[in-house]
Each structure stands twice: as structure tokens, then as C-alpha cells.
Structure 1
């Protein structure tokens, strides 16, 4: 199998959901999947089902909680560096055919990682591994290096009418 670099970005809903759909499809085809969630550290509903697929899908959360309304702490930066190191190790090992760095673009936009970090991650990808980077604000340099870029565009969202995340739909 030849692997490619995919980026799911934009201000619309569905970037992580698209990556998780790819993970399920890959697992269904017998491929091993690794999902490293930068920033996130919560009990999202999808984790409940992914636990049942632990023989083919590995999920690691590296976030320290929600800081998106405040400035990231040195601990948040350390957690992102640790995530980057582990995801790089998984890539180099080549034991997973699909590696997803969820919210990697956001981590870069928030200053937890640099553009150079994301480009180095792409450079570490063995040719047979599919690498997926998600999150709004993907740097132009990452978009240029990707083989597939999907931009989710917000057209209309019930969040704008005050509807919060609903269990099983958004969280």
C-alpha cells in the first residue's frame, strides 16, 4: 500500500469525524490505526466504541484539559511536545498503516507546535503509512505538502442559535 498525507481543516464541523470515519474504514479492512489526540482530554462518545476496537485502533489523548479560552501553559506545551514525539515514534515504527494527528493544526495555530514540527512529522512518514492531520488553521506550508486537503466550511450551524454540544452528536 502507498500512503499519502491528508489534511482536514477549515472552520466547519466534521474534521475529527472525517478522520474517525477513515479510521473505522481502515480497521474494517484489517489495517492498524493510531490516533493521537493533541489538546483533547475528555470522555468523548466515540472513545466508547473505539475501546472495543483496541486490537486494531489505538487512541491516545495528550491534552491537559480545555484552555482554548485562556493562554496555554508550559504544561500544555510540554504535553504537545510529548504527543509530537510519540506520534513521530509511531510513524517511524511503521507498524500502523494509518496515523492520525488529531488537532495538530490547532496545536500549531496556538503555538504549542511549530510549522516546522508539522513538516518534520510529514517527513518522518514511511511511504506505506497514511498520515492524517486535522484541525482548523492548517499552515499553508502543510497544505502545500499534503496529497489531499479537505476544507470544512461553516455555512450554517445550530450552535449559532445557542444549541450546545449534544452527547452522541457533537460529543
Structure 2
């Protein structure tokens, strides 16, 4: 395997960004890589937490307070996000993980939980052999310029617009 790690960005308004990242987590784990997943704006109540707990080489942490979509940003949201970014930087710089996923990092920037510069610092400290995946809507120019791979998920149709809520095992 090439020992150089690359930076992936999965962005866009379509469904599938986290799912694509988790597919890569599964593949990396199956290949014997250690994996760290950090999720912004989420709590450990998503089904992937239960599934990934079964994989010994995968560590997943959620950096979300009690925030709900549309609720105002709290000081606790900011504190959790900044703590999460520091944990991600430790994981990405350590050389211990073959794959690090920063799930919803781009949304955390959009909500001003930390700055674009803070987010880019994750790329600055990344160990050269660590593959880094960044997900979320609202990819900003600086992250797009520095990524090695950018995939945009485009929504064509989504049943959410018909009032279907997030379903356990499918969207959460």
C-alpha cells in the first residue's frame, strides 16, 4: 500500500456524505488499519456507534451537546466542537491511525463553532501517512484547494421533503 495519506472531502447538499465516510471506515478496518472517527454536532445515539463498537480497531467519538437542528448555538456546542477539533488533531498527527474521519467538520465551520483557519490546522498537523476524510455541506474554498479528492453529493430528490423523518438504521 502507498504509505502516503490523502485528504478527502465529501460535501454537497445530497445524502450520503457520512455514509461514504463510514464505508471507507469499514474498508480500512477490514484491511487492518486503525481508525478514528470524530463526529461534530452529533451525540452517540446514531446507529453507526453501535456497529463500529464491534470493530476493535475503530474508535468513534461524538462532539455534540444537546443541540437540535435549528436550535441556537450554545456555549456548550462551541466548547464541545473545539474539544473535538483538538481530539481530531491529536488523532491525525499521532501516526497511530491509518484513517481519521472528521464528520460534519464543514458544518461546524459554517455554524462558526470554530474558524476556517482552525479547520485547516487539522490538515497542517496531519501525519503524512494518515488518510483524512472531511465531511459536511458548505465546503469552503481553502479546504477544497488543499484536498486531494473532492466528491460532491447532489440531491436530486429526497423523501425528507415529503415529511419523512430520519429513520433509525437508515439516516440515524
Q: 1:9-48 counterparts in 2 under 5 A? A: 9-48=11-50
What CA distance in whole angstroms lies between the structure 2 residues aligned with 1:39 and 1:132?
Answer: 17
- CA positional deviation for 1:152: 0.6
**Residue matched to 1:72:** 73
CA–CA distance in structure 1, aligned partners of residues 106 and 156 of structure 2: 21
The TM-score, its normalising length taken from structure 1, stands at 0.96
SS at match of 1:52: coil
1:63-118 Cα deviation digits (max 9, x unpaired): 00234312211111111110011111111111001000110000000000111011
Give the match's secondary structure for 2:144.
Answer: helix
Runs of 4 or more above 3 Å deviation: none
Contact 1:36 1:60 in 2 (8 A): yes
| Matched pairs, number | 170
Offset at residue 42 of structure 1 (A): 4.0
| Within-5 A mapping of 1:97-116 | 97-116=98-117
The unaligned stretches of length 5 or more in structure 2 are none
The separation in 2 between residues aligned to 1:75 and 1:44, in whole angstroms, is 20
What is aligned with 1:88?
89
Question: Is contact 1:42-1:65 (8 Å) kept?
Answer: no
CA distance in 2, matches of 1:146, 1:57: 23
Map 1:134-153 → 2, pairs under 5 A: 134-153=135-154
Q: Secondary structure at the match of 1:105?
A: helix
